[in-house]
Amino acid sequence: VLTKVVGNDVRQNWFVIDVNEAAAAAVARKKREEQGITGNTEAMQREAEKLAQERRQLRLEMAKMRKEMEEGGAASPGGLSIEERLVRLEQLKEKGLISEDEYQAKRREVLEDI
């Protein structure tokens, strides 16, 4: 804050700004902002690449699972045939480990897999 003489008048409370210094500061701030944006863009690019890799990996796993299911055919989970599953179910019922209702429900499920 300065006192300035303009013509014959004395004026107080003037601000003096160095235009070159202000311009250099503005340019420097703009560069920092652009670098921040570039940094964010690069981080987003890395994240997108990582997600694309994960997506490819999931597709490969799904294709592998699909192939295994097709090759398995009528085999049930655990690798037992339908006949083996029915025998095992009968044994569980005979031992009293499952009720008649549970036996019938599970039997229907096994037979629907045919």
Cα–Cα distance measured from residue 23 to residue 16, given in angstroms and rounded to the nearest whole number: 14
User: Can you read off the two tokens belonging to residue 11?
Assistant: 């004026």
Check whether 26 has a pLDDT greater than 90: yes
User: Can you read off the two tokens belonging to residue 35?
Assistant: 């670098």
The 10s digit of each residue's pLDDT in 66-98 is 888 777 654 455 677 889 899 999 999 999 999
Cα–Cα distance measured from residue 114 to residue 112, given in angstroms and rounded to the nearest whole number: 5
**Are 82 and 74 within 8 A, CB to CB?**
yes
